[in-house]
Chain A
Amino acid sequence: MKKAFPILAILTVLLLSYAFYQAIWVAPTERTMGDVQRIFYYHVPSAWTAFVLFFVNFVASVTYLARRNPKADAIALVSAEVGVVFCTVVLVTGPIWARPVWGIWWTWDLRLTLTLVLWLIYVSYLILRRFSDSAQTPKLAAVLAIFGALDVPLVYFSIWFFRTQHPQPVIGGGGSIDPRMLHILLINWLAFSCFALLVCWARYRLEMLKRDVEEAEALESLLEVGPRDSKAEIPFRGEPR
């Protein structure tokens, strides 16, 4: 298993380089938007990767609640962290793309709004994890993840209907996509997915190591002797049982 990690790392670097080359040089220039449109090859795969990671988080959270397996909790944490990063990429590339092309920074279109809400939910998830008592964090976080997952379809429908009432510009345009562009899009998505897997894996190993260290520290069996508590009236009574 350990050997697979460097192999994945090399594969990821190769894929990312190839995908970059494809997106920036090989891909045809879009007729109306020009070269700025190439950000599309980063914007869309990041969104898909983030959604996949959040789905992994949901499955891991449910698994944790069902089985109380600490590995499931670690996977939930890792997928949430990396998912938030990809989500941030979507939210940053969106306005960067929109401004020169459509003249607006933001629009409440479906993908962007859904991404924003997911970003908010998962940032609050990470903050909850940070601020809760460590013995309870896995349970509380898993519960919040389930609420997040239940919320997503509701968010989708509410934005969808809102947009039929208040038409908004759509970043990326609707309509069909040139098959060459689709091909490059998928290559980029593959590269991003490998990258996400790589980072998640590294983070997971780090997290498990951290937990092992904590546990070892906690269970150190050196009996520490503190100052005598004068209220206690307790004499020391000899060796451990």
Chain B
Amino acid sequence: MKLWPVTLATLAKDIRLEWRSKDALNSMLFFSLLVVVIFSFSFDPTAEESRQIAGGLVWVAFLFSTIVALNQTWARELRNQVLDAYRVSPAPANALFLAKALGNFILVSLLEAVMAPLFMVFYNLRVLGSAWQLIPVCVLGTWALVASGTFFAAMSIRTRMREVMLPLILFPLSIPAIQAMVEATRIILSGDGSPRFWIVLLLTYDVVFTTACLALFETVLQAE
């Protein structure tokens, strides 16, 4: 059975549902704003220092918001056991994974689009390197967190303490990706060398982990 029609139908359904209630979206936007403000209060460096640590700050803040977004990925499917309806159908498990991952990607990108300008304002950041390079870093980095995160969120729904289980599993495995994002951002902001290695590492991480997620999602979905 073909993958993309089901993926797009599921993605469209999720967007429509989110648009109707806007619950999750509004609270996450506000949460993201709070995170930026609290970080700005806690870390108040000089302009030169900011460029060195902004990469870390921004991505850790994104990580917080991403966890909040990821934790509600499967909430609607769990509510009335809708996941059973999916499991019993011939639709490929991958299609569901891709739809959820893409949905989360859009959601988290939206949150980042709100948070990043705020950070630039609070820290008076100016990009000394080539700013366009931030785009691949952002896209690849967000996908790294969101793809694995969606997968591990599906694993954690089959455990007790699900909200804690997700970051517990996700953080150790994301360490190389997070390091790459942070370093690349620092290099671009301070114009200090080339972020090429880190972008390639992020790309490798994305390819390897997305492939693994696609290969193993069926096992996780049908694990009962």
Write the residues of chain A forming the contact surface with B, with a CB cutoff of 8 angstroms. Answer: 65, 117, 120-121, 123-124, 127-128, 131-133, 135-136, 139-140, 143-144, 146-148, 150-151, 154-155, 157-159, 161-162, 165
Known: A128-B165, A151-B172, A158-B201. 11 other contacts (CB 8 A): A65-B219, A121-B172, A128-B155, A128-B159, A136-B158, A143-B219, A144-B155, A144-B169, A150-B209, A159-B179, A161-B201
Q: How far is the CB of A117 from chain B (nearest CB, A)?
A: 5
Jot down 14 A-B pairs with beta carbons below 8 A, ordered by A: A121-B172, A127-B168, A128-B159, A131-B160, A131-B165, A146-B216, A150-B209, A151-B173, A154-B201, A157-B201, A158-B175, A158-B179, A161-B201, A162-B179
Given known A-B contacts A121-B172, A155-B176, A146 and B212 have beta carbons under 8 A apart: yes
Contact between A143 and B176 (Cβ–Cβ < 8 Å)?
A: no
Closest A residue, CB atoms, query B216: A143
Question: In the complex, A155→B216 CA distance in Å?
Answer: 21
Name the B residues within 8 Å of A144 (CB-CB): 155, 169
**Is B180 interfacial (CB-CB < 8 Å)?**
yes
Given known A-B contacts A124-B169, A136-B158, A157 and B209 have beta carbons under 8 A apart: no
**Docked complex: B113-147 residues within 8 A CB-CB of A:** none
The 10 closest A-B pairs by CB, nearest first: A120-B172, A154-B176, A158-B176, A136-B223, A121-B172, A139-B223, A132-B159, A131-B159, A131-B160, A158-B179
**Docked complex: B90-120 residues within 8 A CB-CB of A:** none
Given known A-B contacts A65-B219, A124-B168, A127-B168, A143 and B155 have beta carbons under 8 A apart: yes
Q: How far is the CB of A172 from chain B (nearest CB, A)?
A: 22
Q: Kindly identify which residue among B160, B169, B175, B198 contacts A155, using a CB–CB cutoff of 8 Å.
A: B175
**Is B208 interfacial (CB-CB < 8 Å)?**
yes
Q: How far is the CB of B220 from chain A (nearest CB, A)?
A: 6
Q: Kindly identify which residue among B172, B212, B220, B224 contacts A124, using a CB–CB cutoff of 8 Å.
A: B172
Contact between B208 and A150 (Cβ–Cβ < 8 Å)?
A: yes
Chain B 160-198 per-residue mask, 1 if CB under 8 angstroms from chain A, else 0: 110001001101110111011001000000000100011
Write the residues of chain B forming the contact surface with A, with a CB cutoff of 8 angstroms. Answer: 148, 155, 158-161, 165, 168-169, 171-173, 175-177, 179-180, 183, 193, 197-198, 201, 204-205, 208-209, 212, 216, 219-220, 223-224
Question: In the complex, A144→B169 CA distance in Å?
Answer: 8
Q: Kindly identify which residue among A120, A147, A159 contacts B209, using a CB–CB cutoff of 8 Å.
A: A147
Name the A residues within 8 Å of B148 (CB-CB): 147
Name the B residues within 8 Å of A128 (CB-CB): 155, 159, 165, 168-169
Name the B residues within 8 Å of A132 (CB-CB): 158-160
Question: In the complex, A162→B177 CA distance in Å?
Answer: 12
Given known A-B contacts A139-B223, A147-B212, A158 and B159 have beta carbons under 8 A apart: no
Contact between A139 and B209 (Cβ–Cβ < 8 Å)?
A: no
Q: How far is the CB of B123 from chain A (nearest CB, A)?
A: 22
Name the A residues within 8 Å of B169 (CB-CB): 124, 128, 144
Question: In the complex, A146→B211 CA distance in Å?
Answer: 12
Q: How far is the CB of A14 from chain B (nearest CB, A)?
A: 38
Q: How far is the CB of B101 from chain A (nearest CB, A)?
A: 15
Closest B residue, CB atoms, query A119: B172
Question: In the complex, A241→B7 CA distance in Å?
Answer: 47
Question: In the complex, A145→B153 CA distance in Å?
Answer: 16
Q: How far is the CB of B210 from chain A (nearest CB, A)?
A: 11
Question: In the complex, A150→B173 CA distance in Å?
Answer: 9
Question: In the complex, A93→B148 CA distance in Å?
Answer: 33
Name the A residues within 8 Å of B205 (CB-CB): 154
Name the A residues within 8 Å of B198 (CB-CB): 161
Contact between A140 and B220 (Cβ–Cβ < 8 Å)?
A: yes
Q: How far is the CB of B38 from chain A (nearest CB, A)?
A: 25
Name the B residues within 8 Å of A121 (CB-CB): 172-173
Contact between A162 and B183 (Cβ–Cβ < 8 Å)?
A: yes
Contact between A148 and B161 (Cβ–Cβ < 8 Å)?
A: no
